[in-house]
Amino acid sequence: MSAQKELNQQEPTSRVTTDTQPVQVLEADGSVCPNATVPDLSDEELLSMYEDTKLARRFDQRAISLQRQGRIATYAPMTGQEGAQVATSYALEQRDWLFPTYREHAAKYVHGVSLAALLKPLRGIREGYAVPDGVNVMPEYIPIATQIPQAMGMAWGNKLQGKVDHAVLCHFGDGATSEGDFHEGLNFAGVFDVPAVFVCNNNQWAISVPRERQTASETIAQKAQAYGIESVRVDGLDPLAVYQVTKAALSKAKNPAAGERRPTLIEAVQYRYGAHTTADDPSVYRDDDEAEEWKDKDPLDRLQKYLYKEGILDEEIDAELDERIETTIKNAITEAESVSEDPELMFEHVYEEMPDRLREQRDELAALREKYGDEAFEEVLE
C-alpha cells in the first residue's frame, strides 16, 4: 500500500470515497440488492420515471431512423444511458439548472424541454434551443467540457445572491475529464464551495477511445479527491441508484451538514450501446460482444422488472404507455417538421442592437434572394 493511501485511511474525516464499487439499488433481474434502500418515490412517480425512460428509448430509435431518412442531421444516440439521464433529472427541483451535452436528450425532456424542441436544432432550426420561461435548461454544449466551469459559475452566482436552494447539475462524459476545463471547473467548485453537482456519464467510450486510454486513474470519481470535494460512483444503468445519489448530492449542495462541502462529482458508470453519433461506426474500433454484456443490466428492463415484481406495472399498463409514447413522439415530429428556418434569422440576436453593417448584410441577402430566388441558394456548393 502506498504511503498516500495509508495516509487517507488514517484520516477519519476524509469525505472522499475510496470505494470503487458503484452504488446499486436494483439487481439486473429487478430485485432489490441486499442492504440497499429503495428511494422514497410513490408508485406514480416510479411509473412516470419508467414511462419517460421508455419514451427516451423510443425517441432514440425514431431519431436514428429520421436521420437515416434524411429528415434530421447528425444525432447522438443515448440508448443505454437514458436511465441515468431520466433519473438525474427526476432528482432536480424545477428551479434547479441543467447543463446538458449533445447527448442528454432525455435529461432535457424530463426537466421541461419539449420533444419538438429537441428535434428542431437537429433540423437546423435554432429556436429549439430557446426554452420557455421557467425551464432551466441551457442549450446543449457541443465543445467538450466547456460547460463545467460555466455550471460552476452559475452555482457560484446563485450562492453569492443567497439562492443556494437553486442547485446546478452539469452533465459531461468520460472524455471530458481529460480537458482542462474539467480540472478548472471542479477546482473552482471546491475552492468556492458552490451548490453544484457534476455528473460524469462514463459510457466507456469517447468516440473510439476507451476509458482506460482516457485516464490512468482507476476511477473518474477519485479525481474529486484532488479538488477536495466528495464523489460517488454509481451504477449508471440502475435508475433508482442514480436517482438516490443525485438526490443526496443535490440536497448536500443546497444544505450541507457542518463540515460538508457543497459540490459532488458523480461518476455514473454506464455504456454507450450504439454509435457516438449517426456519423460514427463503432464496429471499426470495438467488439459487439462488449455491448451485449452491458445490455444484460439494461436500465429500462431493470426498472420494468422491478415494477412488475412490485405490482406497479402490468402488461395492460405497459401497452397503454407504449401507445401514449408513440402518439407523443409522432406529434413532436409533426410539430418539428412543420417549421422551417428563415435565413434572415441568422442576423437576429447577434447583439441586442443590430450593428449597421450587419443590417446592410441582412438587406443584401434579402435583395439577392429577391433577385435570384431561393433555388439559387440551394444548389450544392461542391
Partner 1 sequence: MSSTAEPGTDTGAPIEKLNLVEAVCDGLYTEMSQHDDVVVLGEDVGKNGGVFRATAGLYEEFGEERVIDTPLAEAGIVGSAIGLALSGMRPVAEMQFMGFIYPAFDQLVSHAARLRSRSHGQYTVPMVVRAPYGGGIHAPEHHSESKEAFFVHEPGLKVVCPSTPYDAKGLLIAALRDPDPVIFLEPKLIYRAFKQEVPKGSYEVPLSEASVRREGSDISVYTWGAMTRPTLIAADNLADEYGVDVEVVDLRTLSPLDIETIVESFKKTGRAAVVHEAPKTAGLGAEISSTIQEEALLHQEAPIKRITGFDTPMPLHGVEDYYLPQAVRIQDGILETVEF
In angstroms, the Cα distances linking 239 to 88, 181, 307 are 8, 28, 12
Concerning whether 75 is annotated as a catalytic residue, the answer is no
Rg, Å, the chain Cα set: 22
Task: Select 90 or 141, whichever has its Cβ closest to partner 1.
Answer: 141
In angstroms, the Cα distances linking 25 to 29, 56, 382 are 11, 21, 54
* Choices 37-45, 149-157, 203-211, 314-322 (CB under 8 A): range interacting with partner 1: 203-211
Binding status of residue 381 toward partner 1 by CB under 8 A: yes
Concerning whether 302 is annotated as a catalytic residue, the answer is no
Cell numbers linked to 208: 473510439
Smallest gap from Cβ 4 to partner 1, in A, equals 23
Which residues, at least 6 apart from 253, have a Cβ–Cβ distance to it below 8 Å?
Answer: 155, 164, 167, 194, 195, 196, 197, 262, 263, 264
* Choices 83-91, 225-233, 293-301, 372-380 (CB under 8 A): range interacting with partner 1: 372-380
Smallest gap from Cβ 184 to partner 1, in A, equals 11
**Cβ neighbours, 10 Å, residue 334:** 10
Task: Select 73 or 164, whichever has its Cβ closest to partner 1.
Answer: 73
> Which of 44, 315, 316, 379 touches partner 1 (CB under 8 A)?
379
State whether residue 238 is helix, strand or coil: coil
Cell numbers linked to 191: 475552492
State which of positions 14-73 bind partner 1 (CB under 8 A).
73
* Choices 17-25, 57-65, 139-147, 298-306 (CB under 8 A): range interacting with partner 1: 139-147
Concerning whether 285 is annotated as a catalytic residue, the answer is yes
> Which of 144, 152, 253, 300 touches partner 1 (CB under 8 A)?
144
In angstroms, the Cα distances linking 276 to 181, 201, 239, 328 are 21, 13, 22, 26
Binding status of residue 378 toward partner 1 by CB under 8 A: yes
With contact defined as beta carbons under 8 Å apart, do 259 and 192 qualify? no
Q: List interacting residues with partner 1 (CB under 8 A).
A: 73-74, 102, 121, 123-126, 142-144, 175-176, 178-181, 206-209, 213-215, 277, 279-280, 284-285, 340-343, 345-347, 350, 355, 357-358, 361-362, 365, 368-369, 371-372, 376-379, 381-382
